[in-house]
């Protein structure tokens, strides 16, 4: 299990980090960085922005580390910061590029198609799944990432995304359905078990 690590261990290392011990920081950073990075990259779409977002978020979260007594609450808060920082980053980038993109609507569509085709040609399973995930809406994608990769509960996801539990359930259900359809069309028989 990647993220369902023992809560007690996390609480123990959280206390160590609050006490200023390096091993506490090492454990927390190692435990949370993968999901934070995955979440950021799924929203921002590139490594550079994702790294910037993760670093900013970790710095913000660790500034208030000693106000937390439970690692679960700290991680939920950290992922919430990652989510909103990534959204802000993406929106600011979008504003910068809107003017350029306005004139080249067809071109960008063709580029997207080209990108999809080149991804298919590369015959890489990860790319197919990435492509299927990128076809989801932003909130569906984040919910799916947090639920399936981060093993977060519905209530934790609701807190991170700042929406209700029923909305999370809805997004997960819709996301799953869309993902299944996309994967079936992309991977065919490989995923007949889904």
Residues that bind other proteins (CB under 8 A): 2, 4, 17, 19-22, 25-26, 28-30, 33-35, 37-38, 41, 50-51, 54-55, 58-66, 125-126, 129-130, 133, 144-145, 148-149, 151, 153-154, 176, 179-180, 183, 191, 193-194
Of 15 and 176, CB closest to other proteins:
176
**Closest CB to other proteins among residues 19, 188:** 19
Here the tokens at position 98 are 């809107």
Smallest gap from residue 51 Cβ to other proteins (A): 6
> In terms of CB distance, is 11 or 108 closer to other proteins?
11
CB of 109 to other proteins, least distance (A): 25
Choose between 94 and 125: whose C-beta lies nearer to other proteins: 125
| Most distant CA atoms of the chain, gap in Å | 56
Whose Cβ is closer to other proteins: residue 108's or residue 174's? 174
- Cα–Cα distances (Å) from 104 to 93, 115, 135, in that order, read 17, 16, 21
* Distance separating alpha carbons of residues 183 and 109, to the nearest angstrom: 21
Write out the DSSP string of the chain: --S---HHHHHHHHHHHHTT-HHHHHHHHHHHHHHHHHHHHHHH-SHHHHHHHHHHHHHHHHHTGGG-S-HHHHHHHHHHHHHHHHHHHHHHHHHHHHHHHHTTHHHHHHHHHHHHHHHHHTT-HHHHHHHHHHTS-HHHHHHHIIIIIT---HHHHHHHHTS-HHHHHHHHHHHHHHHHHHHHHHHGGGGTT-
Instruction: Tell me how far, at minimum, the Cβ of 194 lies from other proteins, in Å.
Output: 6
Instruction: Indicate the residue among 59 and 101 with the shorter CB distance to other proteins.
Output: 59
Report in angstroms how near the CB of residue 137 gets to other proteins at its nearest.
17
Closest CB 104 distance from other proteins, rounded Å: 29
Q: How far is the CB of 154 from other proteins (least distance, A)?
A: 7
């Amino acid at each position: 299990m990647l993220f369902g690590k023992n809560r007690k261990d996390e609480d123990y290392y959280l206390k160590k980090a609050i006490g200023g011990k390096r091993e506490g920081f090492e454990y927390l950073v190692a435990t949370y960085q993968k999901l934070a990075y995955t979440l950021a990259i799924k929203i921002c779409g590139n490594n550079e922005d994702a790294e910037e977002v993760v670093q900013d978020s970790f710095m913000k979260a660790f500034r208030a580390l000693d106000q937390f007594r439970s690692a679960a609450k700290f991680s939920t808060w950290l992922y919430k910061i990652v989510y909103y920082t990534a959204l802000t980053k993406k929106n600011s980038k979008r504003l910068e590029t809107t003017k350029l993109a306005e004139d080249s609507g067809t071109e960008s569509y063709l580029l997207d198609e080209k990108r999809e085709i080149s991804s298919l040609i590369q015959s890489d399973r990860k790319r197919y799944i990435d492509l299927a995930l990128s076809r989801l809406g932003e909130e569906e994608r984040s919910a799916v990432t947090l639920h399936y990769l981060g093993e977060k509960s519905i209530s934790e996801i609701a807190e991170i995304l700042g929406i209700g539990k029923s909305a999370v359930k809805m997004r997960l259900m819709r996301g799953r359905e869309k993902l299944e359809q996309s994967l079936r069309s992309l991977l065919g028989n490989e995923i007949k078990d889904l």
